[in-house]
Amino acid sequence: MKVFEWDDLRIFLAILRGRSVRAAAKLMGVSHSTVSRRLQAMESQLGIKLFVRHPEGFVLTEIGEAMVERAERVESEILSMEREIFGRDATLSGPIRISMPPLIAQYLVMPFIAEFSALYPDIQIEIDATYDIANLTRRNADIAIRFQTEPEGHLVGHRLPDFANALYATPNYVANNSFTGQNPTGQWINWQRDSSRGTLARWQADSDFAQCGTRHYVSDPSSQLQAVKAELGFAYLFCFMADQESALIRMQLSAKFKFVPAWILTHPDLVSTQRVRVFVRFLRDAISERRSLIQGTEKD
């Protein structure tokens, strides 16, 4: 019997984690047909099914369950070896993969990365602008910028300035609506319909406009900013985004900022990689220099 290759085990683990061929293909960055073909080849080689197809997703068979621990052990060893080899690279050339929320890429860091690229022309930057959490242990990215209170204990974290949020609307929307008293006409733009609890609900309750209702729901921050510009309502927006929009103003009755902590993270195995270390330090310093924009005080 032919021994499984590492790529076979990667396919197996991707299907396990994604619960479908389509999700596994997305995780691995390959086509749906490639994953399906490799799974069929593995099952044919074993002469037994590894997964049972259910409407809610792929479920492991008994043989599949027996493979999981060994496959994950092999994965852990190979990823550890890759990180160690990458971590010994002391040259200021080669690729760096960074994961960050799309709004950070769109409204903040591109000028910094352009400046870094001019200084280090042999380093290639690969940006994954996503709200998904990149797994740094599995090398989904070398560096990640995240909004979170504390980083995972096994990662190396560099604290960024806390990101301020404030309430924004257009001047016309403010002039033509009421926001306090009985039956205010101003309407919140909310994240999602089921938002009666959570951070945003607490922010709204603590604002001067807690009595205003919600009419529209927009789940993406950049799209929410566009909805505010289109006068669909008012909303909490990151100051570093909204303060760059001449069409928007902060709503004067609510001067309270709401802050979100942020970090630059990397895996400890990559700390010795010179290009990663230099890039992290450069980006941390560049972002910190825009503290006034990030914390909403640049226009004060």
CATH T-level assignment (fold) for domain 6-87? Arc Repressor Mutant, subunit A (1.10.10)
pLDDT per residue as tens digits for the range 188-210: 999 877 655 678 888 988 888 99
Mean pLDDT rounded to a whole number for the chain:
85
Q: How far is Cα 183 from Cα 92, in angstroms, rounded to an integer?
A: 61
Q: Is the pLDDT of residue 39 over 60?
A: yes
* pLDDT value of residue 4: 61
* pLDDT value of residue 252: 65
Q: Is the pLDDT of residue 1 over 50?
A: no
Average pLDDT over residues 31-44: 81
Indicate the pTM of the whole model. Answer: 0.69
Average pLDDT over residues 3-21: 79
pLDDT per residue as tens digits for the range 146-185: 999 888 878 888 899 999 999 999 999 999 999 998 899 9
**Number of H helices and number of E strands within the chain?**
12, 13
* pLDDT value of residue 172: 97
Q: Which residues contact 268 (CB under 8 A, 6 or more apart)?
A: 154, 155, 156
The ranges assigned to domains in the chain are: 6-87, 94-162+261-294, 163-260
Contact 234, 228 (CB under 8 A): yes
Q: What is the CA radius of gyration of the chain?
A: 24
Sign of the alpha-carbon dihedral angle for 68, 69, 70, 75: positive
pLDDT interval class at 108 (50, 70, 90) = very high
pLDDT per residue as tens digits for the range 47-57: 888 888 888 88
- What are the φ/ψ torsions at residue 157 (nearest 5 degrees)? -115, 140
pLDDT interval class at 64 (50, 70, 90) = confident
SS3 assignment, position 252: coil
pLDDT interval class at 3 (50, 70, 90) = low
Average pLDDT over residues 128-137: 86
Q: Is the pLDDT of residue 84 over 90?
A: no
149-180 burial, b if ≥16 CB within 10 A, otherwise e? eebeeeebbbebbebbbbbbbbeebbeebebe
Of 108 and 4, the one with more pLDDT: 108
pLDDT interval class at 45 (50, 70, 90) = confident
Where does 55-154 show beta strands of DSSP type E?
A: 57-60, 94-100, 123-129, 143-147
Which residue is listed with tokens 């909805």? 227
Q: Which long-range contacts (CB under 8 A, 24 or more apart) does 219-224 make?
A: 219/191, 219/192, 220/102, 221/101, 221/103, 222/102, 222/103, 222/106, 222/107, 224/189, 224/191
Q: Is the pLDDT of residue 241 over 90?
A: yes
Q: How far is Cα 101 from Cα 116, in angstroms, rounded to an integer?
A: 19
Looking from the CA of 11 toward its CB, the CA atoms found within 13 Å total 22
Give which of 165, 167, 169, 166 is closest to 233, Cα–Cα: 169
CATH T-level assignment (fold) for domain 163-260? D-Maltodextrin-Binding Protein; domain 2 (3.40.190)
CATH T-level assignment (fold) for domain 94-162+261-294? D-Maltodextrin-Binding Protein; domain 2 (3.40.190)
Hey, which residues does 157 pair with through a beta bridge?
A: 265
Q: CB 248: neighbour CB atoms within 10 A?
A: 20
**How many percent of the chain have pLDDT more than 70?**
89
**How many percent of the chain have pLDDT more than 90?**
42
> Please, where are the H alpha helices in 99-238?
102-104, 110-119, 171-175, 199-205, 221-229
Q: Is the pLDDT of residue 6 over 80?
A: no
Q: Is the pLDDT of residue 32 over 90?
A: no
Give which of 164, 149, 156, 181 is closest to 253, Cα–Cα: 181
Per CATH, 94-162+261-294 and 163-260 having the same topology is answered: yes
Q: How far is Cα 262 from Cα 150, in angstroms, rounded to an integer?
A: 8
Give which of 13, 14, 104, 21 is closest to 57, Cα–Cα: 21
